[in-house]
Amino acid sequence: MDAAARKKRISERVDARAQALDRLALEIHARPELAFEERFASSSLADYLESEKVSVERGAGGVESAFAAEAGSGGPLVAILGEYDALPGIGHGCGHNLMGTAAVGAFLALRDTLDGVRGRVRVIGCPAEERGNGKVQLMKGGAFEGVDAALMYHPGDRDEIDPLMLAMVNLDVELLGKAAHAAAEPYDGVNALDGLVLGWTAMSALRLLVRSDSRIHGIITDGGKAANIIPDRAAARLMVRSPDNTYLADLRRRVLACFEGAAVATGTEIRPTWSDVCEVVSTNRPLAESFAENVRTLGRTMQPRRLADTHGSTDMGNVTTVIPGIHPFLSITEGPVPGHSIAFTDAARAPRALETMHLAAKALAMTALDVFTEPALLKHAKEAHGNERRAVVP
């Protein structure tokens, strides 16, 4: 069977499972779960794989709501990644209900097509992309061991092959003061909220001076317990982003200085906690070109990134730092719709979203097949990855 016949077989196998994949995507959409709590989504996808006679490792990499499965033998190992966590308040406003199902569909279609092909495919269910850097934990736990290339897609409002995904780090900042009666003895208190607001104001002033490709934003998570009590605790969660790791490090220092200065000014104690860094996604050009060509044969055309656009951040950046990988966007909407919105949540269960999920499953499986059947592709992907890594070393 030649490559064209195998790709035709992949499409047929995805189509044969379309109804089951749609059911999974809609059920996960209807039961959104936050980071590391994705028990329904993870178990539903794992159960479906097992119904297809696949041996599944639940709790892969030591992460409870992760899973992994492998098929094939010999040759290179390609990982196909899927996410399924949701956002607080708006559910699947990033379309992750479609990503885990597409990954499972791609894995099964490829498994059914590997007779006579040297190569292994591993599907990895990846929790906690929105918060928690789940892939970083999976990498530490060995879930990516031996992987030669990592493939995934993300729902969007545009077919974009190389979206700019910024490096990002979270700062949880806590200010501690002293409680007192706000009317009777306010002078006996130390106002933690005043310290936080003063630091927030300094941070807002800093944003005017930040490079236009970088971002600082966040929320206040604790502003006190009652209006008649001087708050003895106030807290915020901030996100600091940049496409430049060196600049991100300097921006971290400057953001923290805003709150350190405010703590000195108000007599409060500051307790900052930084998360792991989400790295910039390094799109691997040979793999991206293979994916784009497969999408083209399926009737859609991938576009390059628009220079003014950024698409937030993802722990897929940490994967592409060490493994050749791609993270393209495929549109699930008829026009521009902002991500992380109720409108995008609604779009993620619409017929176009399900059709795009099928296309994504096919294109991911076909691209993995290209890695198995075209030795030059993996060679060029690894060479490009080496060049990309050397380009970002200070």
Residue 351 has pLDDT above 50, yes or no: yes
Instruction: Tell me the pLDDT band of 394, cut-offs 50, 70 and 90.
Output: very low
What is the structure's pLDDT at 120? 98
Phi, psi torsion values for 362, nearest 5 degrees: -65, -50
- CA 79 vs CA 1, 11, 386: distances in Å: 23, 19, 19
pTM of the model: 0.90
Average pLDDT, the chain: 95
Measured distance CA(27)–CA(185) in Å, rounded: 55
Tell me the pLDDT tens digit for each residue of 237-289: 999 999 998 999 999 999 999 999 999 999 999 999 999 899 999 999 999 99
- CA 92 vs CA 153, 342, 356: distances in Å: 15, 9, 16
Pick the CATH number of 167-274 from 3.30.70.360, 3.30.56.10, 3.40.50.10480, 3.40.50.2300: 3.30.70.360
Tell the burial category of 105 from Cβ atoms under 10 Å away from its Cβ (0-12, 13-18, 19+).
buried
- For residue 223, give the nearest of 248, 254, 200 by alpha carbon: 200
CATH 3.40.630.10 fits 3-165+280-392, yes or no: yes
Instruction: Tell me the pLDDT band of 1, cut-offs 50, 70 and 90.
Output: confident
Tell me the pLDDT tens digit for each residue of 112-145: 999 999 999 999 999 999 998 999 999 999 999 9
3-state DSSP call for residue 239?
strand
* Residue 48 neighbours by CB under 8 Å, 6+ apart: 20, 24, 104
Residue 235 has pLDDT above 70, yes or no: yes
Instruction: Tell me the pLDDT band of 309, cut-offs 50, 70 and 90.
Output: confident
What is the structure's pLDDT at 320? 96
Tell me the pLDDT tens digit for each residue of 139-187: 999 999 999 999 999 999 999 999 999 999 999 999 999 999 999 999 9
What is the structure's pLDDT at 25? 98
Tell me the pLDDT tens digit for each residue of 19-29: 999 999 999 99
3-state DSSP call for residue 167?
strand
Q: Provide the residue ranges of all domains of the chain, joining segments of one domain with +.
A: 3-165+280-392, 167-274
